[in-house]
Amino acid sequence: MPTPRRSQISLSDTPYYHCISRCVRRAFLCGIDPYSQKSYEHRRQWVEDRLHFLASLFAIDICAYAVMSNHTHLVLHIDKQQADSWTTEQVLERWHQLHKGTLLTQQYLNKEKRPSMTPAMLEAVERIATVYRTRLHDISWFMRSLNEYIAREANKEDECTGRFWEGRFKSQALLDEAALAACMAYVDLNPIRAKMADTPENSDHTSIKQRIDMAKQGQQPTLLMLFAGNPRAGMPKGLPFELKDYVALVDATGRVMREDKRGYIKHGSPILTRLLIDDDIWIELTHGFESRFGSAVGMEIIERRLSQSASHFRSTG
């Protein structure tokens, strides 16, 4: 029996989660269908645009993503503190960009009509806003807002009805920095492992390509979670790594040939050499802004699995 979603998402354990959505019957979301030869490549941009739109509304940060032919990978960070800091008006304005809300919330946002609202009506608005605030830092609502939108657009284009996604999304809790870095690199390398791209900087519709494109301009993408550098006192909100180190990690990991995957990075020169980005720019980029492991991943779990594998090998060897 699948683990209930409420048991998979625990902010007391970690705010980081890896989420995967697959198309029903592994049909094609994007790319070119090898049977019909029909191209769905443009749908990759649908997903990427929707992700950026949702990131601007939810108190959920996108750490990494990859839009594949029949599935999507996301690494998300829940920022409950940000959601709690929003005013009632800010909560309603964000929610109304996704849904109509209620007559009361619509009246509250109308500056001309709000003065005529009674205390009971205002109290009801506060109760509704509390519900919306919770939803705006809820991964299930984030994934629902992404997947339902893409399903409707795809069904409209295909002139059909019915389920588009293979059940609910799957999620893994990332319990420590090692699991976070490993999972982000795994997600960013998906197109290379599938032989859809030969280098990270050419991997279309991935977070690593977006980060590299922006780094060449001396910037970090505003709609992705920023890199805050190595953990330290007074550290601002952001990923606990150096951007330069992460890019090098992705490149080094992608060069490893795996028996279970078709692709790997064959380019001779290291990625930091290819990108020709000055060291001072890398430093400024970070500091200038002040199913293998089930439903959870962390060093303790990884080490336990390795220990179990070693014990099994010794007992059978």
Residue 85 has pLDDT above 90, yes or no: yes
Q: What rounded mean pLDDT belongs to the chain?
A: 84
Angle between helices 243-254 and 207-215 (to 10 degrees): 130
Three-class DSSP category at 99: coil
Lowest model confidence (mean pLDDT) among 30-34, 115-119, 225-229, 279-283? 30-34
Strand pairing partners for 66? 73, 206
Can you read off the two tokens belonging to residue 23?
Answer: 């198309």
CA–CA separation, 153 and 253 (whole Å)? 35
Distances (CA, A) of 82 to 41, 85, 114, 190, 200: 35, 5, 26, 31, 31
- Check whether domain 12-81+138-302 has CATH 3.30.70.1290, yes or no: yes
CA–CA separation, 285 and 289 (whole Å)? 8
* 65 alpha-carbon distance from chain centroid: 5
Can you read off the two tokens belonging to residue 3?
Answer: 């683990």
Angle at 29 between CA 61 and CA 71, to 5 degrees: 50
Compute the average pLDDT of residues 123-148.
96
Distances (CA, A) of 95 to 56, 86, 99, 156: 11, 12, 6, 24
Can you read off the two tokens belonging to residue 97?
Answer: 């960009």
CA–CA separation, 73 and 191 (whole Å)? 11
Torsion of CA 291, 297, 303, 306, to 10 degrees: 0
Three-class DSSP category at 246: helix
Closest listed residue to residue 188, CA positions, set 171, 202, 175, 178: 202
Place of tokens 């795809």: 154
Residue 166 has pLDDT above 70, yes or no: yes
- Give pLDDT, residue 291: 43
Q: Over the stretch 195-241, which tens digit does the pLDDT of each residue have?
A: 888 899 999 999 999 999 998 888 888 889 999 888 777 778 889 98
Lowest model confidence (mean pLDDT) among 9-18, 58-67, 79-88? 9-18
Residue 310 has pLDDT above 70, yes or no: no
Q: What are phi and psi of 62, to 5 degrees?
A: -95, 115
Give start-end residues of each CATH 3.30.70.1290 domain in the chain: 12-81+138-302
Q: Over the stretch 19-78, which tens digit does the pLDDT of each residue have?
A: 998 887 556 666 666 666 777 778 888 999 999 999 999 999 999 999 988 889 999 999
